[in-house]
Amino acid sequence: MMEVEANENELIKAGSNYLRGTLEQSLSDELTGALSPSDAQISKFHGFYQQDDRDLRQQRQQQYLEPQYSFMLRARLPGGVCTPRQWLAIDSVGRELSSGSIRLTTRQTFQYHGILKHNIKPLIQKINRVMIDSLGGCGDVNRNVMCNPNPVASALHAEVYRWTERISEDLLPNTRAYHEIWLDGERVEGEDSEPLYGETYLPRKFKIAVAVPPHNDVDVYTNDLGFVAVAEQEKLIGFNVLAGGGMGTTHGDSTTFPRLADELGFVAPDQMLAVTEAVVSLQRDFGNRVSRRHARLKYTIERIGLSRFQEEVELRSGIRFQPLHPVTFIDQGDRYGWVEGTDGNWHLTLYLENGRVADAPGSQLMTGLRQIAEIHQGDFRITPNQNLIVAAIPASEKGRIERLAREHNLLPENRSLTRLKSIACVALPTCPQAMAEAERYFPEFIESIEQLAAHHGLSDSGIVIRMTGCPNGCARPFVAEVGLVGKGPGRYNLLLGGDGKGLRLNRLYRENLTESELLTELDQLFSRYNQEREAGEGFGDFTVRSGLVEVDKNTIRVEVTNG
Ligand code: SRM
Ligand code: SF4
């Protein structure tokens, strides 16, 4: 039911006739490259965002031209898994209908940038031919469901992945609008309903991840809803359920904050969907529909209290949480190079800096992946750290795949551990929220860090560094050992104290620093770390132990779950 007071987005959703809005009229309006303002909101549920090239904004304004509008489209790809055939289609679409690159994201899917309005429909139709859609890629619904992708314990991973897919399917919007508008599906009057979401969908985006310990590459505690797989003798027995994580904040607004999810309890695998639906329906009914800034589940839980939230989940799902099972996480990054699964197949994790798959002089990444897809018989898995795994390779094919990967600069070789563990968000020039550079600037920044580390004899210590162009937190900077969060052009907040496992929030150390100020600070910190660290102590742990930052006990999850 609509609340009396509601923000603009709620009214747009309510008036959209289950996400149709006037999208078709907006698409056929040839006078502008843009959509109408309300359709630009509705389009997100269909997986695409209206953007404009920020590098060109001023110039176009001076020429009295409208901004250089184009669209970013984000696909739905549960667990980041796709087949070589699908990859070949993803590649062709990237070349033909977007800006010519593919961007792997921190939630294990891919995006295209620079799509012109008239190319949106052909693009969606093309990916649909290989069974990929973009429904719920963005918008106030469940987003791409993440799942730990590097399957050493092959059978366990396969089972967990199947649950990931089921959650993703279960939470898809029911509306036929996507099929009608993009796939020329039949129009059936009066047939729409949204039994779970309702006609105003959720108050805000909703994110789910499933982790398979001991790896926390999905940063499970940063999700609205998290599942931690518990196995006995490599057989799945259930999940620890977590709720209320999130990263996004607003500079200068202390009512917004990053938050790690709380642990609710343990459930059996076949109880997972009921618990998921209960949490989603609770957020639908209790989430803040007045202030979008405070609309995520983390604020709902803070407002109604964890114990009431937990009771409501139990009541709605008809499931009583059992005590948590102890689990241990050891890292939050990707495991590069070759890994052998228990089924005898091999998996090769490639390195794609900040997830950008493109061809450039001397670095034909996109072509390399295409050539691998042409011969590969297993599948591909996009990782939560913007990389790609060539998965399920028989031993006999290892040589051929590795040769292609090496020829095209796709292997992690010759990169520092810190570079391999670090990520940055998209930011400029496409992201409308960016206050500072991230993806474009990060490689150069890491080079300076590598020099500093070498100077202090720290070349071997892989530090998790994450940079974002604003405090929305798309590269999950608040669980990094070093978080760099854009504050303004060329300026960043420096946060320290993550544990390298995604189980502890970091803390603000210095504010609004320029690059040279950042490097001066890090120079001093590295010097102390080199001299004062204890054996085996990570950089984040060192900054906390030595009192450089004070970490609030509520922002640590390690004590509860470590077995
Ligand atoms: Fe994000 C908004 C990119 C993962 C928190 N995010 C955006 C937009 C769409 C900007 C906008 O509002 O118009 C960015 C598009 C940039 C571009 O040009 O492509 C954007 N987010 C990304 C991606 C592509 C970053 C990346 O470098 O990979 C990631 C796509 C994920 C996906 O495939 O679904 C991405 N965003 C995240 C994550 C990480 C995660 O989910 O694990 C977060 C932090 C976790 C969280 O949600 O709390 C995140 N993005 C946000 C927020 C802040 C939400 C909040 O609760 O305050 C926004 C802004 C918003 O929603 O209003 C945002
Ligand atoms: Fe854009 Fe900010 Fe997300 Fe970076 S963190 S992609 S700048 S919204």
User: Residue 436: inside a domain, yes or no?
Assistant: yes
In a domain, residue 423? The reply is yes
Q: Which amino acid is at 413?
A: E
Give the residue from 380, 396, 414 where a domain finishes.
414
107 lines ligand 1 (CB under 6 A): yes
What is the rounded CA–CA span in Å between residue 102 and residue 352?
A: 11
Give the pLDDT of residue 185: 79
CA 472 to ligand 1 centroid distance, Å: 7
DSSP structural state of residue 269: G
Please check whether residues 410 and 423 belong to one and the same domain: no
Q: What is the pLDDT of residues 354-389, one digit of tens each?
A: 999 999 998 999 999 999 999 999 999 999 999 999
Answer yes or no: do 386 and 407 share one domain.
yes
Same domain, 433 and 546: yes
Q: Does residue 454 lie in a domain region? A: yes
Could you give the CA distance from residue 563 to residue 554 in angstroms, rounded to a whole number? 19
- Local confidence band at 553 (pLDDT 50, 70, 90 cut-offs): low
Atom of ligand 1 nearest to the CA of 209: 42
Strands 69-74 and 110-115: antiparallel
74 is catalytic: yes
Final residue of a structural domain among 414, 445, 479: 414
> Both 406 and 390 in a single domain?
yes
Residues sharing a CB contact under 8 Å with residue 213, sequence separation 6 or more, in sequence order: 228, 229, 327, 328, 329
Give dist(CA 48, CA 358) in Å, integer. Answer: 20
How wide is the angle at C-alpha 252 spanned by C-alphas 48 and 441, nearest 5°?
Answer: 55
Q: Exactly one of 13, 107, 205, 259 is catalytic; which is it? A: 205
Q: Is residue 138 within 6 Å of ligand 2 at its C-beta?
A: no
* Cα 451 to ligand 1 centroid, rounded to whole Å: 30
Using CA atoms, how far apart are residues 416 and 336, in angstroms rounded to an integer?
12
Would 380 be classed as within a structural domain?
A: yes
524 shares a domain with 494:
yes
Q: Are 51 and 72 in contact (CB under 8 A)?
A: yes
Q: Render pLDDT for 237-278 as a digit per residue (tens, 0 to 9).
A: 999 999 999 999 999 999 999 999 999 999 999 999 999 999
Contact 177, 218 (CB under 8 A): no
**Report field, pTM of the whole predicted structure over 0.75:** yes
**Is any ligand 2 atom within 6 A of the Cβ of residue 474?**
yes
CATH of the domain at 432: 3.30.413.10
**Cα-to-centroid distance, 425 and ligand 1 (Å):** 8
Residue type (1 letter), 315: L
If asked whether residues 519 and 424 sit together in one domain, one would say yes
Average pLDDT over residues 499-521: 97
Please answer whether residues 389 and 348 qualify as being in contact, where contact means their C-beta atoms are separated by less than 8 angstroms. Answer: yes
Q: Is the CB of 423 under 6 A from ligand 2?
A: no
Quick one: three-class SS letters along 165-183? HHHHHHCCCCCCHHHHHHC
Is there a domain that residue 355 lies in?
Answer: yes
CB 188: neighbour CB atoms within 10 A? 9
Domain count, the chain: 2
- Identify whether the C-beta of residue 390 lies closer than 8 Å to the C-beta of residue 406: no
The percent of residues in the chain predicted with pLDDT above 70, rounded, is: 97
Q: Identify the domain boundary among 376, 399, 414.
A: 414
Find residue 504's DSSP bridge partners: 556
Residue 361, C-beta contacts closer than 8 angstroms, at least 6 positions apart: none
Residue 354 beta carbon below 6 angstroms from any ligand 2 atom: no
Asked if residue 544 is part of any domain, the answer here is yes
pLDDT tens for each residue of 105-147: 999 999 999 999 999 999 999 999 999 999 999 999 999 999 9
Domain identity same for 390 and 472: no
Beta carbons of 229 and 218 less than 8 angstroms apart: no
Is 553 assigned a catalytic role?
A: no
Are both 529 and 402 inside the same structural domain? no
535 φ/ψ sector (left φ>0, alpha ψ -120 to 50, else beta): beta
Known catalytic residue: 82? no
What is the atom index within ligand 1 of the atom nearest the CA of 430? 18
Q: Does 143 qualify as catalytic in the annotation?
A: yes
Centre of ligand 2 from the C-alpha of residue 486, in Å: 9
Ligand 1 neighbourhood includes 291 CB (under 6 angstroms): no
Residue 440 lies in a domain: yes
Which amino acid makes up residue 20?
R
Q: Are residues 466 and 497 in the same domain?
A: yes
Exposed / middle / buried, residue 244 (Cβ in 10 Å: 0-12, 13-18, 19+): buried
Assess whether 204 carries a catalytic annotation: no
CA of 434 to the centre of ligand 2 (A): 5
- Residue 450 belongs to some domain of the structure: yes
CA-based end-to-end distance of the chain: 44
Which range marks the domain in which residue 438 is found? 418-555
**Angle at the Cα of 204 (from 185 to 265), degrees rounded to 5?**
110
Q: 154 with 342: CB under 8 angstroms?
A: yes
Q: Which of 470, 487, 504, 557 is catalytic?
A: 470
* Residue in 176, 284, 474, 501 annotated catalytic: 474
* 442 and 478 belong to one structural domain: yes
Query: What is the identity of the amino acid at 483?
Result: G
Same domain, 371 and 472: no
Q: Are strands 465-468 and 423-424 parallel, antiparallel or unpaired?
A: parallel
In short, whether 430's Cβ falls inside 6 Å of ligand 1 is yes
- Both 464 and 495 in one domain: the answer is yes
| CATH classification at residue 410 | 3.90.480.10
